[in-house]
Amino acid sequence: MPTYVALLNWTDQGIRGYKDTGRRAEVFAAATQKLGAKLLNIYWTIGQYDVVALVEAPDDETASAALLQLGGAGNVRTETLRAFGQEEIERIIAKTAGQ
User: Which option is the CATH number for 3-98: 3.30.360.10, 3.30.70.920, 3.40.50.970, 3.30.70.2340?
Assistant: 3.30.70.920
51-99 residue pLDDT tens? 999 999 999 999 999 999 999 999 999 999 999 999 999 999 999 986 5
Residue 5 CA to its chain's centroid (Å): 5
pLDDT score, position 99 = 59
| Cα 73 to Cα 7: distance, rounded to the nearest angstrom | 16
The b/e string for 69-86 (b: 16+ C-beta within 10 A; e otherwise) is ebbeeebbebebeeeeee
Pick from 59, 82, 61: nearest CA to 1: 59
| Cα 78 to Cα 71: distance, rounded to the nearest angstrom | 7
